[in-house]
């Protein structure tokens, strides 16, 4: 059993569709959460999509998939992805700035970027199934199936361990075990 087996790579849930060019400040979480340097999921979750869809966090369920268009999450990054990860959501988008992608992976979020035209293949509320490890996007409501670039193998362990901190914690524990054995 490896670390990458500890997580469900296939999420099944409802689609929550965003448009193109949704910025991180305002579009994902209010700017005050970003400049207030809130990184505790409990502090961020009530404010996820607050400015566009108040109460989103009370309606979403683990496994739901956020589907966004091009250029998701401009501006300072990270806080919104912490909340998505803690809520058990997945993220699929047509594109996002690389640093946003890096931040999402670093938060342990199941994410696929570069999903060309994915907005055309779903509407909010559709039943989706997304395999982040193998790069499958299935819309059961509309009977559509697409293949997209999956999370690269080298990043699976980071996501499986809940992000960079979890990965470092395990790495250090493994080092300690090796030292004990020698």
Determine which residue in the list 25, 80, 90, 106 makes contact with another protein, applying CB under 8 A.
106
Determine which residue in the list 2, 37, 143, 153 makes contact with another protein, applying CB under 8 A.
153
Instruction: Establish if 134 lies at the interface with another protein (CB under 8 A).
Output: no
128 φ/ψ sector (left φ>0, alpha ψ -120 to 50, else beta): beta
Q: Give residues 65-104 in contact with another protein (rule: CB under 8 A).
A: 97-99, 102
CB closer to another protein out of 143 and 153: 153
Q: Calculate the CA 3 to chain-centre distance.
A: 18
At 123 the three-state DSSP class reads coil
The angle, 0 to 180 degrees and rounded to 10, between the axes of the packed helices 79-86 and 98-106 is 40
Instruction: Establish if 155 lies at the interface with another protein (CB under 8 A).
Output: yes
Determine which residue in the list 1, 2, 143, 152 makes contact with another protein, applying CB under 8 A.
152
Q: Give residues 27-56 in contact with another protein (rule: CB under 8 A).
A: none
- How many other CB atoms sit within 10 Å of the CB of residue 79? 27
Q: Answer whether 126's CB lies under 8 Å from 14's CB.
A: yes
Pattern 156-175, binding to another protein, x per CB under 8 A? --x-----xx-xxx-xx---
């Amino acid at each position: 059993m490896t670390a990458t087996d500890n997580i469900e790579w296939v999420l099944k849930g409802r689609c929550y569709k965003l448009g193109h060019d949704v910025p991180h400040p305002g579009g994902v979480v209010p700017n005050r959460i970003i400049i207030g340097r809130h990184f505790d999921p409990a502090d961020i979750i009530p404010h996820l999509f607050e400015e566009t869809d108040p109460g989103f966090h009370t309606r979403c369920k683990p496994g739901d998939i956020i589907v966004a268009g091009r250029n998701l999450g401009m501006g300072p990054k990270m806080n919104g992805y912490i909340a998505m990860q803690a809520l058990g959501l997945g993220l699929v988008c047509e594109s996002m700035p690389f640093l946003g992608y890096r931040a999402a992976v670093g938060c342990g979020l199941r994410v696929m970027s570069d999903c060309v035209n994915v907005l055309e293949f779903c509407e909010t509320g559709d039943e989706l199934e997304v395999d982040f490890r193998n790069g499958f996007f299935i819309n059961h409501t509309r009977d559509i199936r697409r293949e997209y670039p999956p999370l690269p193998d080298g990043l699976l362990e980071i996501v499986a361990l809940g992000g960079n901190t979890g990965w470092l914690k395990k790495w250090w524990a493994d080092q300690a075990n090796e030292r004990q054995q020698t």
